[in-house]
Amino acid sequence: MNGFKTLTTATVVFLLTAGTAHAGATLNAIKERGFIKCGVSDGLPGFSFADEKGNYNGIDVDVCRAVAAAVFGDSTKVKFTPLTAKERLTALQSGEIDVLSRNTTWTSSRDSAQGLHFTGVTYYDGQGFLVNKKLGVKSARELDGATVCVQAGTTTELNLSDYFRANKMKFTPITYDKSDESAKSLEAGRCDVLTSDQSQLYAQRIKLAKPDEYVVLPEVISKEPLGPVVRHGDDDWFDIVKWTLFVMVNAEELGVNSKNVEEMKKSTNPDVKRLMGVEGDKGKDFGLANDWMAVMVKQVGNYGEIFERNVGQGSALKISRGLNALWSQGGLQYAPPVR
């Protein structure tokens, strides 16, 4: 049993790892090793999905590439580990991976009792329902008595129970480890409804044999801020992952993208100059090369580029920016200044 094995290994790692308790342990280990160990999803188009050549693509994948570009100046120095929802947090806690970038929801208990740090929000999402059009259901309120497929060990599982309880409806849950199993079960008719974050529902739908027969219901029943996660104990590493995200957003806001980086280095705008590492020591403050922000944007792109390429108009998913537009354009993506 793969999942059980991973969990058991993780537990054994817990028991055996020597307790060297000092800040910087994760970052030092990464620099010595020469690459970043990044936990991603086990196959979710737009977020992390391996193509036929085995190359990973997606927003979550690009976040890790960006961190690698920041630390090593080379976005290819990442090793991806596909994890199920059930395995992911233990894998991070036990040190099997350095950063988890796997459409994971930021919650209070994960930040506190589970010993983790969320570094920001890569995608503002919310939970929805995917049903077969044949059922004739127009709203989630009509789902009383339905059988619902859901991934094990997710916030989705908890929101599902809350929603049905709050609306005094009954349901039968079927919990699988892998999202693919849920999708297959929906197709086979084992369950009436598939519930997950809306972005995942769109991604799952294009994997179905007949995507047109399925519809996402209008209700969004929860807040699901998805972002990268690191474990407690290394503040420097936390800062780097956090600011990689902020730099992506700042770059989009300042009009810096992967194609015009070199020209922008000649910009007269002091904000851009600081971002490019042309003025000041803002890059060095992180213990990295002074121009890491420029290198990162050049190799991976700004937030808008990453979004459009993976889940937006440049992808099969065609999700609009919505909540994920910049704050200046009516969305929620906002980053503190580089200064």
Partner 1 sequence: MAEPTSTPVKPPFWNNPRVRAMVFQAVALVVTVAFGLYLFENTQNNLRRLGIASGFGFLSSSSGFDIIQTLIPYSATSSYGRVFWVALLNTLLVSALGIVLATLLGFVIGVARLSRNWLISRLALVYIETFRNIPLLLQIFFWYFAVLRAMPAPRQSLSLGEAVFLNIRGLYVPAPQFQPGFGWVLLALGIAAVLAWLLARWARHRQIATGQPFPTLSASLALLLGLPLLTFWVAGSPLVWEVPELQGFNFRGGLVVIPEMASLLLALTIYTAAFIAEIVRAGIQAVSHGQTEASFSLGLNSGKTLRLIILPQALRVIIPPLTNQYLNLTKNSSLAAAIGYPDMVAAFAGTVLNQTGQAIECIAITMAVYLTISLLISLVMNWYNRRVAVVER
- Smallest distance from the beta carbon of 176 to partner 1, in angstroms? 5
Residue number, 118 or 164, with CB nearest to partner 1:
164
Residue number, 172 or 260, with CB nearest to partner 1:
172
Distance (Å) of CA 242 to CA 4, 122, 133, 204: 31, 10, 41, 28
Select the span of 34-42, 138-146, 240-248, 308-316 touching partner 1 (CB under 8 A): 138-146
- Smallest distance from the beta carbon of 109 to partner 1, in angstroms? 7
Asked if residue 176 binds partner 1 (CB under 8 A), the reply is yes
Cα 153 from Cα 173, distance rounded (Å): 13
Cα 107 from Cα 159, distance rounded (Å): 12
- Smallest distance from the beta carbon of 18 to partner 1, in angstroms? 7
Of 77, 205, 231, 274, which one interacts with partner 1 (CB under 8 A)?
231
- Smallest distance from the beta carbon of 181 to partner 1, in angstroms? 7
Binding-residue total with partner 1 (CB under 8 A): 58
Asked if residue 104 binds partner 1 (CB under 8 A), the reply is no
Select the span of 113-121, 256-264, 297-305, 309-317 touching partner 1 (CB under 8 A): 113-121
Select the span of 51-59, 112-120, 200-208, 212-220 touching partner 1 (CB under 8 A): 112-120
Residue number, 93 or 315, with CB nearest to partner 1:
93
Cα 327 from Cα 314, distance rounded (Å): 22
Asked if residue 115 binds partner 1 (CB under 8 A), the reply is yes
Distance (Å) of CA 43 to CA 55, 91, 192: 12, 17, 22
Query: Do 294 and 288 meet the contact criterion of CB atoms below 8 Å apart?
Result: no
Of 128, 153, 283, 304, which one interacts with partner 1 (CB under 8 A)?
153
Strand-pair partners of 129: 195
Q: Is 116 helix (H, G, I), strand (E, B) or coil?
A: strand
Cα 302 from Cα 249, distance rounded (Å): 6
Query: Do 237 and 98 meet the contact criterion of CB atoms below 8 Å apart?
Result: yes
Q: Is 63 helix (H, G, I), strand (E, B) or coil?
A: helix
Asked if residue 166 binds partner 1 (CB under 8 A), the reply is no
- Smallest distance from the beta carbon of 80 to partner 1, in angstroms? 21
Cα 160 from Cα 165, distance rounded (Å): 8
- Smallest distance from the beta carbon of 148 to partner 1, in angstroms? 9
Residue 249 has phi, psi (to 5 degrees) of -70, -45
CB neighbourhood size of 13 (10 A): 15
Strand-pair partners of 148: 173, 193
Q: Is 250 helix (H, G, I), strand (E, B) or coil?
A: helix
Asked if residue 221 binds partner 1 (CB under 8 A), the reply is no
Query: Do 101 and 36 meet the contact criterion of CB atoms below 8 Å apart?
Result: no
In the range 6-35, which residues lie near partner 1 by CB under 8 A? Answer: 7-8, 10-11, 14-19, 21
Q: What are the residues binding partner 1 (CB under 8 A)?
A: 1, 3-4, 7-8, 10-11, 14-19, 21, 85-86, 89-90, 93-94, 109-110, 112-115, 135, 143-147, 152-154, 157-158, 160-162, 164-165, 171-177, 181, 184, 188-190, 192, 231-233
